[in-house]
Amino acid sequence: MPNRIVQLRNLILRAKHAYYFGPEPLMSDAEYDSLEDELRVRSPDDPVLAMVGAPVPADSILTKARHAMPMGSQNKVNSEAEFRAWVDKSGGPPLHVSLKGDGASAAAYYRDGRLMQAISRGDGVIGEDITANAIRFNGLPAWVGSGPERFTGAVRFEVILTVEEWAKVDPARSKNPRNAGSGIMGRKNGHQCEHLTAFAFDIDEQRDGASVRFASESHKLARLAELGFNLIPHAFCSSVDEAVAWHRDAGARRDSLPFWIDGVVIKIDDVGRQEALGVTAGRPKGQVAWKFDSAGAETVLEDVVVSGGHTGSLVPTAQLRPVEIGGTTVSSASLANFDEIARLDVAIGDSVWLIKANDIIPKVIRVTHRPPDRRPIIAPSACPFCGGAVGRRRITSGEEGVILECRNAACPKKSTGKIDRWITSLDIQGIGDSVLEAMLERFGIEDAADLYALEARSAELAELVINGEKGIRLGDKRARSILDAIDATRMLSLARFLGSLGIESAGIRRIELMIAAAGGELDTLDQWRSGRLRDPEFAERVGVPNLGAPIQDGIDGMGGVIDKMLANGIVVTAPQRDVVGDDATGEPVKTVCISGKLPSGKKKSDYEAPLAAAGMKLVDTVTRETTYLVLADPNSVSSKAEKARKLGIEVISEEALMALVGEAPPAG
């Protein structure tokens, strides 16, 4: 029964998070209620039943966080001779070996069974809080242990995008699974995190305030398995020869593994001996990583297909005769652009040499044979998706004609990509792939501006079928949550507005830097639309000497969408300059950060104008200069709450915030 209780807790916690913050619900309301009913029967006073809302605050994502268990790197060996020399120097076997998954390292921290925080590796000491994403990873339980055996401590794991899931999120294989997985793990809106898998490989368990002393690496992995974690494949080796054979066998099995690996991690199995060997430059002497050699293979280029991006770029991808390389079957490879095709002098039917150095994206590096019947690869003269005109675009370095792009602003490939870019950039919660696809089909959404007209069709939105196989509708609560999330982005800073439109080379950070450099000459939307960026001197002054004209072209191309957004109620606010003091008093301006869902149901943006009227400023992050942090739950353990407590920042309730701005608290 305890195992079933733990299972129910995990299912409920994940479902809660998916409902409030995920791109789509994991189950219907009836299925969720049945889980709670069963848990209530098995464990009437269970702490999970007492939880209100989602278990992880969404605004904690990607804030800086400190590791309780420092995450170092391993030294490397590159040959059998180097490996044997390291073993001799380290005192000999037994050894613990494990696959070196090609992913991103992170750590999860638990208290009394509950996942409290997950932090990316970062520099090994400071990483980024990824808890809101990690709760959706496969293989990482949200609750560990039952009764007095509830787990407290830290677990290190590798976040991996398996080959099967890679095919789902990136069918064209435009990125390798390591880069694709890392990108997904670090998304603010958690988009596609359910495709990632956590493989645990180390543990620091706490009992009675002290770390449990594990005798060996083998004991650590056994404990992780007992607690229900998903383990990285591993083995115990009693001799050096066994470890060498395991490494050789792992290399030979790469093509049959469910995920990419780039080597094997070998540790002295005895933990005491490891500790005695010490650490140098953050790298433990009792562990090494033995990577595989770079791989290459010859195959035939059978065809070329063109894929399109949200900026209009037209990217050629080689369709290859399937070949085994670097542990996987490769059937496609990026050709980068049509200039690269000309440089390689490659054609359809050619035999080519393919590499995956260190398991990066497959790349054609040369032609090995050109048959008489080879067919030239013709660059498209019109967009294959809309028939629009095609042009050549300069890249940042100023080289001419590296990328072909569709010049049709109404290209459907562009517009769909830009809608997704807008949703992701502004962290609009609840609109995942299936929801967006259903919305596009049902409502005929042409661009991101159409999202702001959905309120009038809220009843239709609630009836939207987002999973035909399971018959799952969006539902009233989910629809309202999405509409509220969209509504929360009606007031945007100039940088967030322009930087979220999906204009090439014009993300939020670059827009912010350009505004700062312009000294007031790019403070309004009209100034950005005036054409000034085509002036080479002005473009250089604002830091984009080679990008001014392309950015201006992008803004002009989005002119219709911009006008539509403004007509649909989006308000673009002027940049707020850093204020060091009040003109009248010389005192620093007080700043307020709001974290979590407010009890009143108000959005953070609702307080921006009242705070400004009261002479205060709403900010997004907690720093030493922050005056107040507003928390719905005074006992919150979010990263913002912990940081505020460490910095001595006053933590207040929403009721106190209302008093600050002169509003009456709600009755009752």
Q: In which domain, by residue range, is 596 found?
A: 590-660
Stronger pLDDT, 474 or 620, i.e. the higher one: 474
**Does any domain span residue 151?**
yes
**Does any domain span residue 667?**
no
**H helices of 158-262, where?**
163-169, 177-185, 217-227, 240-252
Residues near 193 by beta carbon (within 8 Å), at least 6 away in sequence = 133, 134, 136, 137, 184, 185, 187
Amino acid in the structure at residue 144: V
Residues 649 and 631 in one domain: yes
Domain boundary (403, 426, 449) is at: 403
Residues 131 and 266 in one domain: yes
Return the H-helix or E-strand segment holding 40.
helix 29-42
Are 14 and 142 in contact by the 8 Å Cβ rule? The answer is yes
**Does any domain span residue 582?**
no
| Ramachandran region, residue 345 (left: φ > 0; alpha: ψ -120 to 50; beta: rest) | left
Burial class (CB in 10 A: 0-12, 13-18, 19+), 122: middle
pLDDT, tens digit, 9 for 90 and up, residues 487-522: 888 888 899 999 999 888 888 888 988 998 888 899
Residues 469 and 607 in one domain: no
Residues 320 and 423 in one domain: no
pLDDT at 406: 86
pLDDT, tens digit, 9 for 90 and up, residues 349-371: 999 988 765 445 678 888 999 99
In which band, very low, low, confident or very high, does the pLDDT at 145 lie, cut at 50, 70 and 90?
confident
Out of 49-53, 336-340, 436-440, least confident range:
49-53
**Does any domain span residue 585?**
no
CATH assignment at residue 526? 1.10.150
DSSP per residue over 564-620, as a string?
A: HHHHTT-EEEPP-----S-TTT-PPPEEEEEES--TT---GGGGHHHHHHTTEEEES
pLDDT, tens digit, 9 for 90 and up, residues 434-481: 888 888 888 888 889 999 999 999 999 988 888 766 678 888 888 888
DSSP per residue over 489-518, as a string?
A: TSEEEHHHHHHTS--TT--HHHHHHHHHHH
pLDDT, tens digit, 9 for 90 and up, residues 390-407: 888 755 433 344 678 888
pLDDT at 371: 94
State the pTM of this model.
0.50
**Does any domain span residue 29?**
yes
Averaged pLDDT, 533-556: 89
Stronger pLDDT, 261 or 636, i.e. the higher one: 261
Which residue, among 31, 125, 22, has the nearest Cα to 71 in the 3D structure?
125
Averaged pLDDT, 154-170: 88
Q: Is the pLDDT confidence value at 164 over 80?
A: yes
DSSP structure class, residue 69: S
Q: Is the pLDDT confidence value at 305 over 70?
A: yes
pLDDT at 197: 93
Residues 562 and 479 in one domain: no
Averaged pLDDT, 630-636: 76
Residues 464 and 526 in one domain: no
Residues 496 and 485 in one domain: no
Are 139 and 161 in contact by the 8 Å Cβ rule? The answer is no
Averaged pLDDT, 377-391: 89
CATH assignment at residue 349? 2.40.50.140
Q: Calculate what percentage of the chain has a pLDDT beyond 70.
A: 85
Q: Is the pLDDT confidence value at 148 over 80?
A: no
Averaged pLDDT, 319-348: 84
- Widest pairwise Cα distance in the chain: 85
Q: How far apart are the first and last CA of the chain?
A: 42
**Does any domain span residue 210?**
yes
Residues near 530 by beta carbon (within 8 Å), at least 6 away in sequence = none
Q: How far apart are CA 492 and CA 512, in angstroms?
A: 13
Domain boundary (489, 520, 545) is at: 489
Q: Is the pLDDT confidence value at 585 over 50?
A: no
Residues 499 and 484 in one domain: no
pLDDT at 395: 52
pLDDT at 45: 75
CATH assignment at residue 72? 3.30.470.30
Residues 67 and 41 in one domain: no
Which residue, among 47, 208, 272, has the nearest Cα to 143 in the 3D structure?
47
**Does any domain span residue 377?**
yes
Out of 36-50, 225-239, 363-377, 386-400, least confident range:
386-400
In which band, very low, low, confident or very high, does the pLDDT at 156 lie, cut at 50, 70 and 90?
very high
Residues near 265 by beta carbon (within 8 Å), at least 6 away in sequence = 74, 97, 98, 99, 100, 201, 287, 288, 289, 290
Number of domains forming the structure of the chain = 6
Q: How far apart are CA 503 and CA 525, in angstroms?
A: 15
**Average pLDDT value over all residues in the chain:** 82
Residues 103 and 247 in one domain: yes
Averaged pLDDT, 16-24: 60
Out of 28-37, 125-134, 420-429, least confident range:
28-37
Q: How far apart are CA 87 and CA 179, in angstroms?
A: 32
Out of 54-63, 77-86, 520-529, least confident range:
54-63
Residues near 485 by beta carbon (within 8 Å), at least 6 away in sequence = 428, 429, 430, 431
For CA atoms 232, 192, 593, 479, give the dihedral sign.
negative
Residues 516 and 566 in one domain: yes
Averaged pLDDT, 103-127: 84
**Does any domain span residue 365?**
yes
pLDDT at 98: 94
pLDDT at 60: 54
Averaged pLDDT, 549-568: 88
Domain boundary (370, 403, 436) is at: 403
Residues 134 and 91 in one domain: yes
